Amino acid sequence: MSGISGKIIVITGASSGIGEATALLLAERGARLVLGARRLDRLEALAARIAAAGGEAVCAATDVKRREDVVALVALAHAHYGRLDVMINNAGIGPISLFDELRVADWEEMIDVNLKGTLYGIAAALPVFRAQGFGQFVNVVSTAGLRIVPFQGVYAATKNAVRTLTEALRQEAGSALRVTIVSPGFVRTGLADSMTDPAIKAQTLEKMAEIAIPPVAIARSIAFAIEQPDDVDIGEIVIRPTAQG
């Protein structure tokens, strides 16, 4: 089924930033959405906003660090709509820092959310896709994995790990499933909220105000990958500000 209208789409990390913008755009184009994030109040407000505009969305509190939460989110899609067309693994955090600061708890959090959270999304949706005989994964990664710089070592490593496993999944998927990587550059999101180093957080917010693009730019890229005919698989989209080096 090509296009977006009528497709059942799960989005993790849907309460703000890229996830929120993607939900709004896909709903506007006729998708029926299942939204997951930790902040249920924001999810419910987003679902209500979509409904008020004539769209359709259900939601559930979802912490992608908990496999059972992600399984329950996919089960909600299947129970409510009877199938799942697209799984968007979008949830991510970026508490970047120098290695010398030994912020090991932050390293572990990035591994749990960025890497394991995506794996849990794959584990939840893949059996559904196989049983249906169709489906699409969209994994949101980062240009941080394409250009390695100081402060971002662990963050980039988690994103590159997702890039690697996504490409392997694409090769294993066969002709019935589609697998897409979307790599955003500097985007105006709440990513800095997860940063525990005050100086780096301030630098990030300053740079964000200077060059970052709006989340809807990434949403449009995700929509482009989804709306292609079933025999067209967009492998990877890299989208960044023109001013980003």
Model pLDDT, residue 241: 92
Model pLDDT, residue 2: 63
* Dist CA 218 CA 44 (whole Å): 22
The predicted-structure confidence for 159-169, as pLDDT tens digits, reads as follows 999 999 999 99
HSE value, Cβ hemisphere, 13 Å, CA-based, for 244: 19
More confident of the two residues 208 and 9: 9
What total of structural domains would you count in the chain? 1
Residue range of the domain that includes 111: 8-185+213-233
Whether pLDDT at 191 is above 80? no
Task: Choose the weakest-confidence range: 132-136, 179-183, 200-204, 215-219.
Answer: 200-204
194 in any annotated domain: no
Q: Answer yes or no: 155 catalytic.
A: yes
For residue 170, the tally of other CB atoms under 10 A from its CB is: 19
Secondary structure class of 180 (helix, strand, coil)? strand
99 in any annotated domain: yes
Residue with tokens 């896709």: 129
125 in any annotated domain: yes
Whether pLDDT at 104 is above 90? yes
Rounded average pLDDT over 7-13: 98
Can you read off the two tokens belonging to residue 123? 């584990």
49 in any annotated domain: yes
The predicted-structure confidence for 68-95, as pLDDT tens digits, reads as follows 999 999 999 999 999 999 999 999 999 9
CATH of the domain at 32: 3.40.50.720
Sequential DSSP letters for 49-115: HHHHTT-EEEEEE--TTSHHHHHHHHHHHHHHHS---EEEE---------GGG--HHHHHHHIIIII
Whether pLDDT at 190 is above 80? no
Give the amino acid at 221. S
Of the candidates 81, 129, 137, 155, the residue annotated as catalytic is 155
46 in any annotated domain: yes
132 in any annotated domain: yes
100 in any annotated domain: yes
What is the C-alpha end-to-end distance of the chain, expressed in Å? 38
Model pLDDT, residue 179: 98
- pTM for the complete prediction? 0.94
Whether pLDDT at 1 is above 70? no
241 in any annotated domain: no
* Dist CA 67 CA 71 (whole Å): 6
The predicted-structure confidence for 136-158, as pLDDT tens digits, reads as follows 999 999 999 898 999 999 999 99
Mean pLDDT of the chain: 94
Percent of the chain with pLDDT over 70: 99
The predicted-structure confidence for 21-51, as pLDDT tens digits, reads as follows 999 999 999 999 999 999 999 999 999 999 9
